[in-house]
Every structure is written in C-alpha cells, then in structure tokens.
Amino acid sequence: MANSYAHATNSRNGGDTYPYSWEPDFADEVSSDLCDTCQNTIFKDEMWQEMYNWPDDWIHDWFGEAGIHHRSYESFQSAVERGCYICVALYNTLPVNFSVTTGNMDSVKNEFSKWRISGIRGSGIDSRNCGRFSVKLGSWASTEKLRHISMPFELLRIDEKATDTRFEALTLGSTNSMEAWNRASRWINKCTTEHGCCAHLTSSGSVTWYPTRLIEISSNDEPEKHIRLIETKDTAPSGPYITLSHCWGNANMVRLERSKLEEFKASISNLPKTFNDLILAARKFGVKYVWIDCLCIVQDEISDWHSECSTMDRVYRNAFFNIAATASRNSHGGLFFDRPKSKPCTVVLSAGRGRETFLLVDTALFEKDIADSPLLKRGWILQERLLAPRVLHFARKQLFWECKELCASETYPYGLPSAIRRDVLQQGLKENGKDSLVKKRPLSLLKLASHSFGRLYEVEGVEEIDQEEVKSWYRIVKAYSQTSLTFTSDKLPALSGIAKFFQRTPRNTYLAGIWKAHLPVGLAWYCSSWVQEAPLPQPEKCRAPTWSWMSIDNPVTIDQHYAHPILRILDAQTSATTVD
C-alpha cells in the first residue's frame, strides 16, 4: 500500500510535484453528478433543515455537522475518475506542497478526507443561501503534521429571475471554440451598448488617444506576413486597439530593439504562440490594432522605456479592451487550451419548503482560474487589469469577463454567483465588476459602498484623498506587494499608473508608495510573511526610502483600521530620478 503513494511528477501543472503516481483518466465529459460518498454523507436533508430554519435577521456562523468523506485514497481516486463534481474540484486544487508520505499514511488511511458544514445566515447574506460546507484532504487534528487542503462550497437556491444562478455547460473542445467566441462577442456588445458605467469608455468608434506605436494587422488571414509596427505620429490609426497582458517568462521571444525598428515597420515575423493567438483574436473581433509591450517599446533604449512608461496608464485606459493570457506562463503558452465538457452541479434537498433545487457553487472558482493564475503573479499586471476598461481572460478551462458592471465566465455568463463574488472581494480588489477606480473622471473620489459586496463607486466634486480612498489604496498595495517582477527596479513604475489616478491634484503628494496627507498611516506597514529571525530581503539597488514599503521585496500589510496617529509630520519629500 505504501508504495502506491510514492511522490511523482504530475504533468498537469507543468512539472509541479504531487504526492501520487496516479494521473486520473478523465473522460471527455466531466459529470455534474456526485459520487455516492458525497451524496450520502454531505447531502442529508435533516442536516440542512436546521440551518435553513434560522431567522433571516439572525447573524450566525455555526460549525455544524462534520464527518468522514472518503475513507481511503482508492475511494477518492475512483470518484475522481468517475467525474464526481466535488471530488474533481478537490483534486484540481492539490497544491505543490501537498504531500502524503509513507510515514504518515497509516494515520489517515481510513479517513482520507473529511467534510464539515458551516451555516451562515443573517443581515447582508443572500437569503437564497442555504449554507456552506468544505471538504478537506488530510487530517484536521492539530497534532498531525500531515498537510491538508480545503475546498469551500455553497448551496444557492436557484431562482429563475436571478442572473447569478443561470449557468451554461462548457462545450467539449477548447477556448478557441465558436461558442467561446460568440460568448465573448456578446459580453463586448452588451458592455458597450447597455452598461451605463461602461458605455462612455473607449469603444469601437471613440478612440481619442493612441500610444506611440501599435501593431497593425491586415485583414489577410495569413498570420505573419501582414503584421507590421506603425508609429502613430506618422501613420494615423483608424479604429480601436486591444492591449495584451502576458507573462514574458524565461523563453526567448521576439522584441523591439533600436536596430530592428525599420525592419518591424516593414513586417514582423516569427511571433510566439501567444502573440499569434492575440492576432487571431483581434481579427475575430474586427480590431485592426494591438499593443504588446515588448513589441511597442524599444527594449534596449532606456530613454524610450522611460518615455513610454510615463504614458502606460493612458495606454490601458484608452484601449477598447485588454486580452489577458491568464493561464500561460510565457509567450509560447498561447491563449487557447483544450477542455472537457462540463457544467455546474445542482442538488435537490428538503431544506424548509419541500424539495428544492440548489446550485452547488465552487466558491474558489475565480481564485483558482484567475487570482492564482501565472499571469496575476506578475507585478505589472495589477495596473493593466485595473486601468483597462474591460478585460477578457483566457483561462485554462474557460473565458472570464471583467468590466465595471459585470464579472462573468462562460459557465456563469450573466454574472458570477454571489458566493464567488464575495470571495473575489476578499482577494483584494474585485467584486461584481471592476473597481470604479478606472473610470475616466479624474476629479472624482473613490468611496467604499455599503452592503456586503463593497463595490467602489465615485463621488464627483471632491479632490482630496480621504480615509475611504486610503483604504482602497492600501488594499491595492497589499495585493501588489504579493506579486513578482522580473526586474525589481520596476517596482515604482509598475504601480505608477494607478498612483496617477489617485493623484488628481498637486496637493495629493505621492511619496514612493505612500500619500503625504496620510503619511502616519502609510508608515505603519509591516511584512506579512516575515520571520523574525530572518533578515528582510533587500533589493540590489536602492529604489525608495527605507521608511517606504517600496524599499523591500516582500508582501506587506497596512492595517489602517488599527492605526491611530500619535505623531505629527513636519515635512517629508522624495526626489525622483525618472518621471515615474
């Protein structure tokens, strides 16, 4: 038995190490059904009825029933291969550091996984929410050294009038399917014609500013021979452009250098897969121009880089939309991936009003496919994603859409369920739509909306940064500090576009990641993952004052809720070596 649990390299995530030599033999269709273990242990009517009968105005977080899920590894393996919705989701969440070794397998061989129901009802909670539960691999006992993972789910009563419980099946094939393109086109059309918060933003016929350079795509279907670089001061574009967010990776790729400028103006060839896929997408959407950082900025000329970096916020804010190569680790990964046919799971329960159908919501959907993707680990991507008026994510299994009024996926094309939206908000920046920080009203103020969704909205006529906007800024800081940069010297420039939005008047003085008007709070940062015995990681070259969180390469947190100034700042200033 022990030998069957030996570590092996699992190919499904690019060579990450997983604990088992087993790779599931998935069918072409992932079932929306549940295995007998899930059905007979987690979904017993009597366990959910008590929770459902709580008064709606009674805020309650209760850890209720719990029990054994799969009693053995073999049982779990069988359920995954049969396509159980919960077990497949759990398997797909296995992290690199999850391990079951021969030394501790005896302690869990009869209790391989466990489940626990936690009820939550009350003010601000969706009244259709029947409760939540989690399934774990490994031991819950504090004395066990076995690492475990947890998978959260919620049950949401299906309401035909509510958009967030309307779902569609994913078709067999890939994210390059006709169904995927049609869904993306519908999102774009609805956003530009029906969304009140989005319609005034850059659309197919409203471009008023262009970057210094763009890639021009001819209408010819040959992907390489009719692609060239244009300088917009010499060749006036006609129509919108699309930007690309991508991971550079360590792979060699084509890039613009001063010696190649004239060559690129004639034609660009030998593009990597991600760039060719972007050109295909642009043609699908009828867009003639794209902007790719490594092809539109001279990479071996520091003066050009500084000049273009200073307009980066305008590059993304004036784009028609941004395409994100979310699942690719480098420029050769591409936009498109094969996928099985699948659809969300529904469960029938007697939970208070007779037999009712509930949507089983994988609340980690957005986190797994977007927030934990290779792309969002990259520092530059945060401002690209926030500043673009719209983002179309090409994730591994489906497309996702973000704009100011809608956050959706192919599975949930009319809006992600509220349970997922809450988790998106908890991840730092997003909710039902993109933060309104990206709206084009430079003298408007960000405010944190009431209610549980916590969307950001704008109040016009206010120029000073107030306390609520400071909270928004430091949420961004926390998220940004958890990303990585190929060149650590980019730490200030990679956030400068967002800083420019906040810095609406000269009175809002920006001091290397901290606002002068709120300097006491800004100084109260600390390293989120610092081990006291270890020295703080320092950049090779000084890039910011040591009192700024920008001076270190480490995740940071600023708990402004608990920061009460006990000092008065007499003066503070910084001097910049470049524009950004």
What pTM does this model have? 0.81
User: What local confidence, expressed as pLDDT, does residue 436 receive?
Assistant: 40
Neighbours of 469 (CB within 10 A): 21
What the block records as the tokens of 245 is 């967010």
CA atoms within 13 A on the CB side of 111: 16
Q: Is the pLDDT of residue 562 over 90?
A: no
User: What local confidence, expressed as pLDDT, does residue 520 receive?
Assistant: 84
Closest CA to 325 of 281, 369, 365, 274: 274
Confidence of residue 128 (pLDDT cuts 50, 70, 90): low
pLDDT digits 0-9 by tens, 146-169: 445 667 787 777 777 666 667 777
Q: How far apart are the first and last CA of the chain?
A: 59
pLDDT digits 0-9 by tens, 63-97: 556 677 777 777 887 888 888 888 888 777 765 44
Q: Which helix (H) or strand (E) holds 521?
A: helix 519-522
Long-range contact set of residues 562-567: C-beta below 8 Å, sequence gap at least 24: 563/520, 563/521, 563/524, 565/520, 565/521, 566/520, 567/520
pLDDT digits 0-9 by tens, 304-317: 999 999 999 999 99
pLDDT digits 0-9 by tens, 229-243: 999 999 988 899 999
C-alpha dihedral sign at 321, 326, 328, 333:
negative
Q: Is the pLDDT of residue 550 over 60?
A: yes
Mean pLDDT calculated for residue range 120-143: 53
Q: Which helix (H) or strand (E) holds 83?
A: none
Most confident range, picked from 20-34, 51-65, 329-343, 562-576:
329-343
Which residue's entry shows tokens 């805020």?
Answer: 59
Confidence of residue 504 (pLDDT cuts 50, 70, 90): low
Q: Distance (Å, rounded) from C-alpha 550 to C-alpha 490?
A: 11
What the block records as the tokens of 220 is 């010819």
Q: Is the pLDDT of residue 115 over 80?
A: no
Q: Distance (Å, rounded) from C-alpha 291 to C-alpha 318?
A: 11
Which residue's entry shows tokens 């990964």?
Answer: 333
User: What local confidence, expressed as pLDDT, does residue 337 receive?
Assistant: 92
User: What local confidence, expressed as pLDDT, does residue 74 receive?
Assistant: 76
What the block records as the tokens of 434 is 């993109």
Closest CA to 453 of 478, 482, 477, 417: 417
Which residue's entry shows tokens 């967030």?
Answer: 164
- What average pLDDT does the chain have? 74
Q: Distance (Å, rounded) from C-alpha 482 to C-alpha 378?
A: 9
| Cα 59 from chain centroid (whole Å) | 30
Please list the helix, strand and coil fractions of the chain in percent, rounded to the nearest 5, in that order.
Answer: 30, 20, 50
- CB 446, CB 475: distance < 8 Å: no
Instruction: Give 558 or 212, the one with higher predicted confidence.
Output: 212
- CB 457, CB 436: distance < 8 Å: yes
User: What local confidence, expressed as pLDDT, does residue 148 receive?
Assistant: 53
Three-state DSSP class for 231?
strand
Cross-strand bridge partners of residue 9: 17
Closest CA to 316 of 437, 428, 438, 405: 438
CA of 66: how far to CAs of 108, 269, 545, in Å? Answer: 16, 59, 51
User: What local confidence, expressed as pLDDT, does residue 215 receive?
Assistant: 97
Confidence of residue 101 (pLDDT cuts 50, 70, 90): very low
User: What local confidence, expressed as pLDDT, does residue 563 receive?
Assistant: 66
Q: Which helix (H) or strand (E) holds 52?
A: helix 45-52
Confidence of residue 544 (pLDDT cuts 50, 70, 90): confident
| 18-32, 119-133, 477-491: the lowest-pLDDT one | 18-32
Considering the chain, what percentage of its residues have pLDDT values greater than 70?
A: 64
pLDDT digits 0-9 by tens, 361-383: 887 788 888 888 889 889 999 88
User: What local confidence, expressed as pLDDT, does residue 443 receive?
Assistant: 23
Cross-strand bridge partners of residue 259: none
- CB 317, CB 438: distance < 8 Å: yes
Considering the chain, what percentage of its residues have pLDDT values greater than 90?
A: 26
Cβ neighbors of 162 (< 8 A, separation 6 or more) are 128
Q: Distance (Å, rounded) from C-alpha 210 to C-alpha 232?
A: 7
Strands 241-245 and 321-324: parallel
What the block records as the tokens of 485 is 């940069």
Q: Is the pLDDT of residue 140 over 60?
A: no
Q: Distance (Å, rounded) from C-alpha 109 to C-alpha 153?
A: 25
User: What local confidence, expressed as pLDDT, does residue 251 receive?
Assistant: 62
Closest CA to 76 of 126, 104, 99, 110: 110
pLDDT digits 0-9 by tens, 402-460: 888 888 999 889 888 877 765 454 443 433 344 444 333 222 223 222 222 222 334 34
Q: Distance (Å, rounded) from C-alpha 150 to C-alpha 537?
A: 31
User: What local confidence, expressed as pLDDT, does residue 336 receive?
Assistant: 95
Q: Distance (Å, rounded) from C-alpha 417 to C-alpha 410?
A: 13
